[in-house]
């Protein structure tokens, strides 16, 4: 999407660490206040609804402790497993319900599905077509198949204009499944895909925050994955809620780049909670005493970015 905005607005977009809708779509490079004052347009398409399993396809080397970070996050999305401490991951996910009310859509219930381990079956340099091939290893209906690539895997567009992507694929007559891809940026571009847990590539060089799960790469994955899940729920097939051109839309989370709490501004994630023992910064509690940092969600009822804090 060609930028026609001011230089300060371009800078804001450096903190948009989520890709937009399908694999060929790239990260937006502009955002202005007028956009945030506009309701994300509903294009009359279906939202993701019903009981949906989130299947995790782990491509490359991931430690069991790393896999647990993501699995616990998915589990935390359900109100039935909501953390007792507040604010919770489930409360963050509940923000997406307003889109369902506007669309008069039935609700969505996510649960952790299968986990599939793949030991570099396609090598260490992947195209977006191969990402879709990997996503197809998951369930073909009532599913979101999430492909997570290890830190030593290069993916077309990764660290250049995206940290991940989401899309959908037909899986038979009248059936589609949604998929998401996110890469581990730990060794390739943590300043691009894992801010604020690493100093940014450009802009104010304030000290990085301590990652709540003590893993910059995986905590960066959670930031990207959570934003892409919100986009998948509200714009799963490219005709749901978004603003801008359909080939490079702003969605529920990408409309609020770099915002994690009130008081956020370029180079500052906002007024976050800090763990007194570890010094880690976070804004949501999850299952198994996890802590996470999750992005703001665009609130379609107020036309503003909404945060837990």
Cα distance between residue 167 and residue 188, in whole Å:
24
Closest CA to 284 of 234, 219, 230, 232: 219
CA triplet 179, 28, 193: central angle to 5 degrees?
65
Of 219, 197, 221, the closest CA to residue 148 belongs to: 221
Quick check: bond before 87 cis, omega within 30?
yes
| Contact indicator for 232, 22 with CB cutoff of 8 Å | no
Residuewise pLDDT in 10s, the chain (309 residues) = 333 323 333 333 333 333 333 333 333 333 333 334 456 899 999 999 999 999 999 999 999 999 999 999 999 999 887 677 899 999 999 999 999 999 999 999 999 999 999 999 999 999 999 999 999 999 988 999 999 999 999 999 999 989 999 999 887 666 788 999 999 999 999 999 999 999 998 888 889 999 999 999 999 999 999 999 999 999 999 999 999 887 778 999 999 999 999 999 999 999 999 999 999 999 999 999 999 999 999 999 888 999 999
């Amino acid at each position: 999407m060609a930028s026609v905005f001011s230089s300060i607005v371009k800078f804001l977009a450096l903190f948009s660490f989520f890709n937009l809708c399908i694999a060929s779509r790239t990260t937006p490079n502009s955002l202005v206040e007028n956009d945030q004052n506009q309701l994300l347009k509903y294009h009359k398409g279906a939202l993701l609804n019903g009981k949906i399993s989130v299947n995790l396809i782990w491509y490359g080397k991931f430690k069991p402790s790393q896999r647990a970070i993501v699995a616990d996050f998915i589990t935390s999305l359900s109100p039935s497993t909501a953390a007792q401490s507040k604010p919770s991951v489930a409360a963050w996910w509940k923000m997406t319900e307003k889109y369902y009310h506007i669309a008069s859509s039935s609700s969505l219930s996510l649960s952790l599905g299968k986990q599939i381990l793949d030991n570099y079956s396609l090598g260490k340099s992947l195209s977006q077509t191969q990402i879709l091939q990997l996503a197809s290893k998951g369930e073909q209906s009532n599913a979101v198949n999430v492909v997570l690539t290890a830190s030593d895997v290069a993916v077309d567009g990764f660290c250049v204009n995206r940290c991940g992507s989401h899309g959908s694929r037909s899986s038979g007559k009248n059936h589609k499944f949604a998929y998401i891809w996110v890469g581990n940026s730990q060794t390739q571009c943590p300043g691009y895909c894992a801010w604020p847990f690493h100093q940014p590539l450009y802009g104010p060089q304030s000290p990085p925050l301590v990652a709540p799960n003590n893993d910059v790469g995986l905590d960066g994955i959670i930031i990207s994955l959570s934003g892409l899940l919100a986009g998948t729920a509200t714009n799963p097939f490219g005709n749901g809620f978004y603003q801008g051109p359909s080939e490079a839309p702003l969605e529920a989370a990408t409309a609020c780049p770099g915002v994690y709490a009130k008081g956020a501004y370029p180079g500052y994630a906002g007024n976050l909670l800090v763990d007194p023992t570890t010094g880690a910064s976070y804004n949501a509690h999850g299952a198994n005493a996890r802590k996470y940092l999750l992005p703001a969600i665009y609130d379609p009822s107020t036309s503003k970015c909404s945060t837990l804090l």
